[in-house]
Structure formats: structure tokens, C-alpha cells
Amino acid sequence: MDEFIAKLMELNIGSVKENEPLANHTTMKIGGPADLFIEPSSIENVKKTMELINKDHLKWTAIGRGSNLLVSDQGIEGVVIKLGTKLAGLEINGDVIKVGGGHSLVSLSTQISRKGFSGLEFASGIPGSVGGAVYMNAGAHGSDISKVLTKALILFEDGALEWLTNEEMLFSYRTSILQKIRPGIVVEAEFQLKEGDKEIIYAEMQKNKDYRKETQPWNFPCAGSIFRNPLPNYAGKLIEDAGLKGFAIGGAKVSEMHGNFIVNTGNAKASDVLALIQHIKETILNLYDIKIETEVEIMGRK
């Protein structure tokens, strides 16, 4: 690993840290260390990093703002690549925008709405990065990324950079081609928006923000929705009906505001959260014969 780090430094890739606690990089404030934590300063440097990883046959993981992520207490083996603020560029060409994968989705939706463009109102309360949102087809309030994305620039495992169209992304509910079929990192995205009335757009965004504040526990460290909705049922409603709101294991607790949120009450470990997830799954299966699957990405050593 020392030789690998020396190469990164020689190429001036960006920020490089050993044994960086990933609790510092997740909204749940949970997670052991990354063997090596890299925050590249440009798309070209993300590409160079991946080329070096391939050459040295190292394991790698990519993260954004850590809002849909649970990292194990033992941390993550190999290299963790974070798309941060250095990859948060924004170009606006009429009603088409091109934005870096490290850009905050909330910030983007706010910036765009102020310019009178509609299409990202649903994202006004989703605390993730653009890259992460595209990766998992993030959505809320009846819309999602697939409704507005035209194409995404993906860095694949072999070091190739390739634009994939909306159709090629194979979007479905909280899923894209990148999760299981063809792993890669979303370094840039292009969205097609519509011109609209600024006041109407702002009112819609404010309504969405207010709804989240009133119904979701963002005053506690959490990772967003833990489970995918087993449509036509809703995970939060099933969990609430099962009487699990407020149920806790260690420092992890099912939110009393929303059944599909697990909050860190201050000293939770990933093992607490995983045990709570398992308890919820078993309870819902036993009570309703419904199998629920996690939406949150679970990463790291076991």
C-alpha cells in the first residue's frame, strides 16, 4: 500500500488519508476506518486513481455524501473513493444542466429552482450527492432521477469513462445498472428540465421540505429510508402497524416519527443497526408474510 500511496502523491491526485474513520463521512455517523481514503480533485484524477487500483489489484468502494450508507464497525478494506466538493461543478445551458457527481442534490434543486427550472422539486429534501442519487435512482413525492436524467458519465472498473443514456442506465425502483450488473462511479450527470413559474416551483419545494421536517427524524443521525417499499405496501406503515416504532437495540432505534427510519441515538454501532434491521425483517415476515429488503447500502468488513 505504501508504494500505491507514493504513486498517488506523485500524481497529485487529491486528498489521501490512511485509516480514515468513515463515521466522519456518513449521515448516520457510524462506520470503522477505510484502509485508504481518497478524495480526488477532478474527474481525470478519479480515472487515474481507478487505473492505479486496477494495476495493483486493490479492492475499491465509492461513496458520496454517505446519506444512504451503513458502514460496518470493522470499516472497509482497500480503497474508498469519495466524490466531494471538487467534483461538484455545474453548467447550465438553457433547460439542460450538467453537474458533477459530488454536487449536493439539495443544493442543486435549490439553485435550479431559483432560476425558474422545474423537475428537481422532489429532490429538495434528499440529503445525498448527485452521483449517489443517479446510482440508486433516488426519488420522493412521486418522482425520481429517471424522470429527468438524460445521460450519466460513468467511470467503470476497467478505467473506461462512458456516457450512458437514460435507457442504458436500466432504471427501476431505487435501482440502476450500476448496482449489480455493471459497477461504476457516476462522475457527472446531465438533466433535462422545464422552464416554469419560480413561485410555483418554490412553493412545491417548500412543501416537500416541510413534509420531510414534519415526518422524518433528520434531527438525529440517520441514513434515510432503511427498507424498500414492498409495493403496494409501504415499509414504514408495516413497521408502525407491527408496533416497532421506538424499539431499540443498543444505540440504534426505530424512529418514533417514521417507521422506515433507524436513528443513531448517540452511541450506536453498525452491529446494533444490523441487529435491528434483522429483527424488523423477521417481525414483518412473521406477522404479514411479507419479505422486506434494505434500501440502505450496507458496506464493509463483516
pLDDT at 202: 86
Residue 225 a catalytic site member: yes
pLDDT at 249: 97
Q: Which of 157, 183, 214 is the last residue of a domain?
A: 214
Domain check: are 181 and 155 in the same one?
A: yes
d(CA 79, CA 90): 27
- The sign one gets for the Cα dihedral 230, 247, 69, 180 is negative
Counting runs of H as helices and runs of E as strands, what totals does the chain give?
A: 8, 18
Domain check: are 196 and 92 in the same one?
A: yes
d(CA 169, CA 171): 6
Domain check: are 141 and 126 in the same one?
A: yes
Residue 77 a catalytic site member: no
Amino acid at 114: R
Domain check: are 223 and 279 in the same one?
A: yes
Domain check: are 101 and 179 in the same one?
A: yes
pTM: 0.90
Question: Which residues constitute the domain of residue 251?
Answer: 217-299
pLDDT at 141: 82
Domain check: are 51 and 26 in the same one?
A: yes
pLDDT at 83: 93
Residue 228 a catalytic site member: no
Is the separation of the CB atoms in 5 and 245 below 8 Å? no
Domain check: are 77 and 6 in the same one?
A: yes
Using CB atoms within 10 Å of the CB of residue 295, give its burial: 0 to 12 exposed, 13 to 18 middle, 19+ buried.
Answer: buried
The CATH number of the domain holding residue 104 is 3.30.465.10
Domain check: are 210 and 225 in the same one?
A: no
Nearest by Cα to 33 from 17, 51, 54, 13: 17
Q: Which of 163, 198, 214 is the last residue of a domain?
A: 214
pLDDT beneath 50: ranges in the chain: none
Q: Which of 60, 82, 104 is the last residue of a domain?
A: 82
Domain check: are 71 and 99 in the same one?
A: no
Catalytic residue among 67, 109, 174, 176: 174
pLDDT at 300: 94
| Model confidence pLDDT, tens digit, residues 151-185 | 999 999 888 999 999 999 999 988 899 987 889 99
Can you give the length of the chain in residues? 302
Domain check: are 210 and 222 in the same one?
A: no
d(CA 29, CA 159): 31
Catalytic residue among 104, 113, 225, 255: 225
Using CB atoms within 10 Å of the CB of residue 191, give its burial: 0 to 12 exposed, 13 to 18 middle, 19+ buried.
Answer: buried
Domain check: are 233 and 170 in the same one?
A: no
- What 3-state DSSP class applies to 254? strand
Give me the number of domains the chain comprises: 3
Domain check: are 195 and 122 in the same one?
A: yes
